[in-house]
Amino acid sequence: MIVRAHTDLVLAVSGWEAGRDLGILVGAVFWLASAFWVFKDARRRIESPWLIAVATLFGLAIPLLGPIIYMFFRPPEYLDDVRERDLEIRAIEERLRQRSLECPVCRGAIEASYVVCPICTTRLKQACAGCGAPLEAIWQACPYCATPVPSLGSYGEGVAGGLEPLRPRRQATSD
């Protein structure tokens, strides 16, 4: 009788111990898993390896509560999303910048290297007499072939002339 009671007690105690061990094991696994989750999540949101390490240690140091606190303070966006958005913004800016180049007469799309508008043949820039490169209005000499630009100023007079080849300006204008 005594032996049996003793056996029951041993079984009960060992059962309780097994349950307690299992609880500790589950808790430990959950603790490590949550710290690992913090590490994985921080890596996707934080660029600095030091801050990722700090966040992970924080998740490890304060079991279960650490990861929850981390969730309150983590950066709201994934790095991938931030980069993607930056790329999109840059692409939009680039598109706007290109769109801003348009023919002053017909509003057709032009490029910085155009000498005349291909749509309405408006002369947009003077072409270099030496190499034919498009010249900015204020340039005194061609930066590509060093040919001096013959006359300063109103290349706009050539606008009416449309596609005519570049001649010295005094001759090109009909006085």
In the complex, the residues that contact Zn ion under the rule CB under 5 A are 103, 105-106, 108, 117, 119-120, 122, 128, 130-131, 133, 142, 144-145, 147
Distance from C-alpha of 166 to C-alpha of 44, rounded to nearest angstrom: 59
In terms of CB distance, is 63 or 132 closer to Zn ion? 132
Distance from C-alpha of 40 to C-alpha of 55, rounded to nearest angstrom: 10
Give the shortest CB-103-to-Zn ion separation in angstroms.
3
In terms of CB distance, is 28 or 131 closer to Zn ion? 131
Distance from C-alpha of 20 to C-alpha of 67, rounded to nearest angstrom: 24
C-beta separation of 59 from 34 below 8 A: yes
C-beta separation of 145 from 133 below 8 A: yes
Give the shortest CB-97-to-Zn ion separation in angstroms.
19
Query: Which amino acid is residue 161, in one-letter code?
Result: G
Give the shortest CB-135-to-Zn ion separation in angstroms.
8
In terms of CB distance, is 55 or 149 closer to Zn ion? 149
Give the shortest CB-150-to-Zn ion separation in angstroms.
12
In terms of CB distance, is 29 or 131 closer to Zn ion? 131
Query: Which amino acid is residue 91, in one-letter code?
Result: A
